[in-house]
């Protein structure tokens, strides 16, 4: 099966498999059956077998999966064997927290720059990066060629900034704004983190939990 025909829901499960196999490896597991893995992960064994079959033959009948091999293979599929240069746009509360919280190098990226428009933030340090003014963006991109960007800017600034970044060669956006990059720009990779939508979904789930109990 070609990669492009893999469904979005399988792709969404891959990072979790990767993370889970890492934990198993740390706990000394050498191999695991799809049944045991399914019980630990709250999935069905047949779903796990189907998911892994999308990418090739990983398991062996009656033996199960080799934890380390499977993790390495999934890591390659996820592109974690590379480190794509990434920059942060918007180094306020949220941007700063994300930069500090995430282990970029283990997720396939290398955070090489941070930018803001706020004079009170420019020049401050985030980890080992000094926040630069947005006027340095084009020069920085020409010199350092970032391919990915984290958007942590206000909604109103997102469209113009996204256009500039794409002109500068950025092809992947980790988008924390509500600006709909997927709708306006084709041919770029976009992963939206809509924290507000996520909290709203929790409200629905809680509300529905209450309804189903009545």
Q: Which residues are annotated as a binding site?
A: 90-95
Q: Is 1 in the site for a second copy (CB under 8 A)?
A: no
The long-range contacts involving 178-181, CB below 8 angstroms and separated by at least 24 positions, are 179/151, 179/155, 181/151
Q: Which of 125, 135, 136, 197 binds a second copy (CB under 8 A)?
A: 197
Question: Of 100, 178, 30, 17, whose CA–CA distance to 114 is shortest?
Answer: 100
Size of the site for a second copy (CB under 8 A): 66
Stretches 24-32, 63-71, 102-110, 128-136: which one binds a second copy (CB under 8 A)?
102-110
Residue from 29, 49, 108, 157 binding a second copy (CB under 8 A): 108
Determine whether 91 is exposed, middle or buried from the number of CB atoms within 10 Å of its CB (0-12, 13-18, 19+). Answer: buried
Sequence ranges of the binding site for NAD(+): 90-95
Structure tokens at 93: 């509360």
Strand bridging mode 189-192 / 125-126: unpaired
By C-beta, is 53 or 208 nearer to a second copy? 208
Query: What whole-number distance in Å separates Cα of residue 92 and Cα of residue 38?
Result: 40
Helices (H), the chain: 8-26, 34-41, 45-53, 67-77, 93-101, 137-144, 155-167, 181-184, 195-213
Per CB under 8 A, the list member of 72, 94, 157, 166 interacting with a second copy is 94
Kindly indicate which of the ranges 29-37, 72-80, 117-125, 134-142 contains the residues binding a second copy, using the contact rule CB under 8 A. Answer: 72-80
Distance CA 37, CA 45 (A): 7
15-44: contacts with a second copy (CB under 8 A): 15-16, 18-19, 40-42
Cβ proximity to a second copy, 63 vs 195, nearer residue: 195
* Residues making contact with a second copy (CB under 8 A): 3-4, 11-12, 14-16, 18-19, 40-42, 77-80, 82, 84, 93-94, 96-98, 100-104, 106-109, 147-148, 171-174, 178, 180, 182-183, 187-191, 193-209, 211-212
């Amino acid at each position: 099966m070609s990669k492009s025909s893999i469904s979005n829901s399988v792709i969404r499960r891959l990072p979790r498999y990767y993370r889970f196999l890492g934990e198993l490896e740390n706990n000394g597991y050498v191999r695991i059956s799809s049944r045991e893995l399914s019980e630990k992960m709250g999935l069905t064994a047949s779903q796990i077998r189907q998911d892994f079959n999308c990418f090739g033959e990983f398991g062996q009948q009656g033996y199960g999966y080799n934890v380390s091999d499977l993790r390495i293979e999934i890591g390659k599929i996820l592109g974690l064997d590379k480190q794509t240069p990434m920059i942060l746009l918007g180094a306020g509360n949220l941007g700063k927290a994300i930069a500090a919280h995430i282990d970029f190098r283990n997720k396939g990226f290398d955070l090489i720059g941070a930018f803001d428009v706020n004079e009170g933030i420019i020049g401050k340090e985030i980890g080992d990066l000094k926040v630069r003014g947005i006027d340095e963006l084009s020069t920085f991109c020409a010199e350092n060629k970032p391919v990915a960007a984290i958007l942590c800017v206000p909604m109103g600034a997102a469209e113009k900034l996204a256009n500039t970044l794409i002109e500068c060669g950025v092809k992947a956006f980790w988008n924390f704004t509500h600006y709909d990059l997927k709708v306006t720009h084709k041919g770029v990779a976009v992963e939206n983190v809509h924290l507000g939508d996520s909290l709203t979904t929790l409200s629905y789930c809680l509300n529905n939990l209450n309804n189903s109990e009545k």
